Amino acid sequence: MRALSGTLATMAVAVLPLLGGCGNDNPVAVVGADTTAPFPPNGVFSITGDGVVSVFWNANQDQRDLAGYAVYRSSTDVGPYNHLSDVSASTTQYDDFNVTNGQTWYYAVTAFDRADNESKLSKELVFDTPRPAGTGLTLFDFVGQNNSLGGYDFSSVSGAAQAWNAATTDIYFGVANGVNTLFVAAGVDIQDFGWVGLDPGTTALDLVDWAPDQGWAPSGAVEVIPGHAYVVRIIDGPGDAHYAKLLVRSVTNPNVSADARKVTVDWAYQVASNNQELAPGARGGASK
């Protein structure tokens, strides 16, 4: 039984005739308990994080006796959905830290009133697979003296650069024909997702929600442009692909010396095999 908020529940009044022998002809008000549940919350979606899934929803429009919301989670889309937590009527967000990167969870939200009536589960199909992410990764030009820090292996999820030609390197930085360029190793694809901006934190990077199926650069190289996001597909074996994304925060002028050339990026990597979810959006990590 859900614990009540301590405020008296809304009561319904039924008017019945006076029972015989009470000595007057006025009707008697008989009080009955409220049994009408609130409407389920709508607009439910989630934001994919690193070791956290943030669930959001719209506030119920009718809040006359609304006591709060309850957040539920399941390992499958058909349930069963298990209760995670109750939040107040003024709260429309819940952060689920009891998650593991690479594991998918399904979420739903209900509303309940002060009489402990609870709505049905929200209707949106909301699922999320948290993944590692990092900021401030700097790669140096692979032909300069700092080429031992020219590449990155996404599966390391360390946020630390490594040698551009290491066996595990997925991407590396350099200049080609006077243009700042990101290159990929054999078995890795990349594409320019386009301008997403340079908002603080991960706001801009989170605009890249789902890795596309097509559009990979045939040359395996893309121009580096600040404010642009890039999606990477890493083929680890037959039927086994991992997806990652980058946001270019800054890059040096390609005309400076090779030793001084560098690019700084934010990144995220989906550790779940063949899972293209990278952030919130129209599919995974959002309403579907």
What percent of the chain has pLDDT above 90? 77
pLDDT at 143 over 70: yes
CA separation for the pair 115, 101 (Å, rounded): 38
Per the DSSP assignment, residues forming a β-bridge with 82 are 73
| Strands 28-33 and 188-195, sheet pairing | unpaired
User: What confidence score (pLDDT) does residue 206 get?
Assistant: 81
Spatial CA neighbour of 154 closest among 252, 280, 264, 266: 266
Output the pLDDT for position 35.
Answer: 86
In the three-class reduction of DSSP (H, G, I as helix; E, B as strand; rest coil), residue 148 is classed as helix
Pick the closest to residue 84 from 54, 60, 129, 113 (CA basis): 54
160, 159, 184, 187: which is closest to 173 by C-alpha? 184
Better pLDDT: 17 or 183: 183
Q: What is the DSSP string of 90-141?
A: T--EEEE-S--TT--EEEEEEEEETT--B-PPPSS-EEE----EEEEEEEEB
Higher per-residue pLDDT: 19 or 169: 169
The Cα 168–Cα 248 span in angstroms is 22
Beta strand 240-251 with 228-237: parallel, antiparallel or unpaired?
antiparallel
Structure-model confidence comparison of residues 82 and 280, the more confident one: 82
- Which of 8-12, 214-218, 281-285 is predicted with the least confidence, judged by mean pLDDT? 8-12
Cβ pair 139, 153 in contact under 8 A: no
Q: What is the pLDDT of residues 185-212, one digit of tens each?
A: 999 999 999 999 998 777 788 888 889 9
Q: Higher confidence at residue 63 or residue 2?
A: 63
Residue type, 66: L
- Residue 22 pLDDT class (50, 70, 90 cuts): very low
pTM of the model: 0.78
DSSP 239: T
Range scoring the smallest mean pLDDT among 23-27, 199-203, 229-233, 255-259: 23-27
Instruction: Please tell me the distance from the alpha carbon of residue 207 to that of residue 153, in angstroms, as a whole number.
Output: 23
- Summarised one tens digit per residue, pLDDT across range 226-237 is 999 999 999 999
Q: How far from 157 is each of 67, 154, 284, CA to CA, in Å?
A: 42, 6, 21
Q: Would you put residue 274 in left (φ > 0), alpha (ψ -120 to 50) or beta?
A: left
Q: Are 112 and 67 in contact (CB under 8 A)?
A: yes
In order of their start, the domains of the chain are: 7-131+279-288 (2.60.40.10), 133-269 (no CATH)
